[in-house]
Amino acid sequence: MKILVPVKRVIDYNVKPRVKADGSGVDLANVKMSMNPFDEIAVEEAIRIREAGKAEEIVVVSVGPTKAQETLRTALAMGADRAILVQVEDDVDVEPLAVAKILKAIAEQENPGIVMLGKQSISDDSNQTGQMLAALMGRPQGTFANTVEVDGDSVTVKREIDGGLETVKLSLPAIVTTDLRLNEPRYASLPNIMKAKQKPLENKTPADYGVDIAPRLKTLKVAEPPVRSAGIKVADVDELVAKIKALGIA
């Protein structure tokens, strides 16, 4: 079986994003970028499935600027086998639907048993690509995976839902999106980083897959969240209850 893992290059999760002065978006100049943490979990899970002898090949794909090559190299260094970069101009933001269409086209060529995505990317927190891909492909989906168990021609996914876990069994091929507690991704070792440089990385464009990436959404304005003002201390529980009542919360 082959596993397809899409990975996105996003602002490093340790960086505090700043909004551009003109409110047109987040300032990415000279900001450290890394692989979306949920995608890292997806790469790790794919590697574990391969290590358990249940998959033969892991193909990673990124839709992004030239620099997304670095993200793909990181995935290759972790253990993926080959990479596809679907390159777009540096400042172009590809929306989830366009990404899903590109992934569908790639999946049609590659025939993966599982497409393993992060549940969302920390850049825009859309949480849509996996679901859209499943709908476009007409295949089952197991989102917010907490555990993934491949067994023959099916995959059992324990999903994180409000109030606990839900178990779904999907017939392959299927779409899985990863949640935070699925695994702890490994650190790429130096020998593997060196080997990754030799692994194949194919360069493509959205046009190669006949996908129009023109935006369908318009960003009106991006603003910093309001600064939280300091709270007040109450003397005891009675005062707290009185305050809550006064605010009409309870």
Partner 1 sequence: MAESGMDPEIFDQFLDQLQRYVRERLIPAEKEVIEHDRIPAAILDEMRNMGLFGLSIPVEYGGAGLNMQQYARVIHVMGYAAPAYRSIFSINIGMFSSALKNGGTEAQKAEWWPRVAAGEIACFGLTEPGSGSDSAGLQTTAKPDPSGNGWILNGTKRYITNAPSAKVALIMARTNKDNLPKNTHVSAFIVPMDAPGVSTGTPDKKMGQSGAHIADIMLDDVHLPGEALLGGETGKGFRFAMMSLDNGRISVGAMAAGLARRALDSAIRYANERKAFGEPIANFQLIQQMLAESEMEIYAAECMMDDVTARADRGENVLRKAAAFKVFASEMCGRVVDRVVQVYGGAGYLAEYDAERFYRDARIFRIYEGTTQILLLQIAKHMLREWKEEQR
Stretch that binds partner 1, among 89-97, 120-128, 192-200, 212-220 (CB under 8 A): 192-200
- Nearest by Cα to 68 from 176, 205, 188, 173: 205
Considering only CA atoms, which of 55, 45, 53, 48 is closest in space to residue 7? 45
Counting contacts by CB under 8 A, is residue 189 touching partner 1? yes
Q: Which stretch in 51-59, 70-78, 128-136, 169-177 sits in contact with partner 1 by CB under 8 A?
A: 70-78
Size of the site for partner 1 (CB under 8 A): 14
Apex CA 110: angle with CA 137 and CA 68, to 5°?
Answer: 95
CB of 242 to partner 1, least distance (A): 29
190 lies in the site for partner 1, by CB under 8 A: yes
Q: Which of 197, 207, 219, 239 binds partner 1 (CB under 8 A)?
A: 197
E-assigned strand segments in 54-129 = 57-64, 82-87, 114-118
Interface with partner 1 (CB under 8 A), residue from 15, 31, 52, 70 = 70
Select 8 or 158, whichever has its Cβ closest to partner 1: 8
Q: How many CA atoms lie within 13 A of 4 on its CB side?
A: 26
Look up residue 239 and give its two tokens. 């005062």
- Which residue lies nearer to partner 1 by CB, 71 or 131? 71
193 makes contact with partner 1 (CB under 8 A): yes
Q: CA–CA separation, 42 vs 194, rounded Å?
A: 22
Rounded to whole angstroms, the Cα distance separating 165 from 160 reads 5
172 binds partner 1 (CB under 8 A): no
Q: Interface residues with partner 1 (CB under 8 A)?
A: 14, 34, 70, 73-74, 77, 187-191, 193-194, 197
